[in-house]
Amino acid sequence: MVLHLPLIWKIVYLILGGVLSGILSTAASFASLASYPLLLSVGIPPVYANVTNDAALIWNVPGAVLSSIRELHGHWRLVRFYSLFTMVGSAIGCFLLLKFPSGVFEKVVPFFILTAGALVYQTSRRKHVERPQAVNGAKKDLYVLLLLLNGIYGGYFGAASGIITLVILTYLTNEDFVIVNSIKNVVGGFSNLTALVIYIFASRIYWDAAIPMAVGMFIGGYIGPKIVRHVPQKAMQQFIALLALIQAAYLFWQSYLK
């Protein structure tokens, strides 16, 4: 259903939706749960809604960084290193999307998301995750390769790539969830920025929707990490796992039952 709103109310609607999306992105890795349907509801075609979503989504990162200075302190070297792989992957994914349709890939996405949610739930039931220093180099390299592959997935399809990044970083680091989540927010932001640069030249962005939504994303991006800081880690991880189950079920219905 497309909403036909007066301009001022459309702007308010997009800002408020952006706030919710920014919170979901930086606190629970699920911005697309709200932002993508939001753009569809104002009449933006699906293929351009995905691109416009990227244009708005990068603005939750400055808000998240401002809110997470304490958690990110001492971790910027890791952020730069991990971001490099997701950016390369994102660029590859974007070019693949421009050349090949994503219809076939949509069939397996629900299972990716369900697996990621299950891994998040599993980590919520463990007191500690394996230290990267304690594993062999090949295993660490595998996790980094998974970041690259997830970057490709994010650039090509995007749904719930944040939660997959969160899972990979959880196994790459031995930090508290709040720190891993903060690193994920910045790494994911660089991935989205890479996609946006490509889409600016290769696709169409509805800036009249992206700009007000970006304002809301910035605000939500600032609020999200504060929520994570004050909610028990186990409860936050189990909430994310629940959202993963919901989105996986919805995408399964769209792909197989609709």
Check residue 206 and give its pLDDT: 96
How many structural domains compose the chain? 1
Q: What domain range includes position 117?
A: 7-257
DSSP characters over 115-151: HHHHHHHHHHT-S----GGGS-HHHHHHHHHHHHHHH
User: Please, where are the H alpha helices in 203-232?
Assistant: 207-230
Give the largest CA-CA distance in the chain.
59
Check residue 128 and give its pLDDT: 52
Q: Report if residue 223 sits inside a domain.
A: yes
Q: Report if residue 227 sits inside a domain.
A: yes
Instruction: Give the helix/strand (H/E) hosting 170.
Output: helix 161-172
Check residue 243 and give its pLDDT: 86
- DSSP strand E in the chain: where? none
| Among 201, 213, 195, 233, residue whose Cα is nearest residue 71 | 233
Check residue 255 and give its pLDDT: 77
Q: Which parts of the chain register pLDDT below 70?
A: 101-106, 126-136, 159
| Reported pTM | 0.86
Check residue 252 and give its pLDDT: 85
Phi, psi (deg, nearest 5) at residue 159: -60, 120
Instruction: Give the helix/strand (H/E) hosting 84.
Output: helix 76-99
Q: Report if residue 2 sits inside a domain.
A: no
| Among 23, 38, 74, residue whose Cα is nearest residue 185 | 23
Q: Give tens-digit pLDDT for 195-252.
A: 889 988 888 899 999 999 999 999 999 999 999 999 988 888 888 889 888 888 887 8
CA distance 128 to 257: 39
Q: Kindly state the DSSP code that residue 105 receives in the 8-state scheme.
A: G
Residues 6+ apart with CB under 8 A from 94: 155, 156, 194, 195, 198, 199, 202
Check residue 127 and give its pLDDT: 54
Q: Kindly state the DSSP code that residue 157 receives in the 8-state scheme.
A: T
Check residue 209 and give its pLDDT: 97
CA distance 234 to 237: 5
Q: Report if residue 123 sits inside a domain.
A: yes
Q: Report if residue 1 sits inside a domain.
A: no
Residues 6+ apart with CB under 8 A from 190: 83, 86, 87
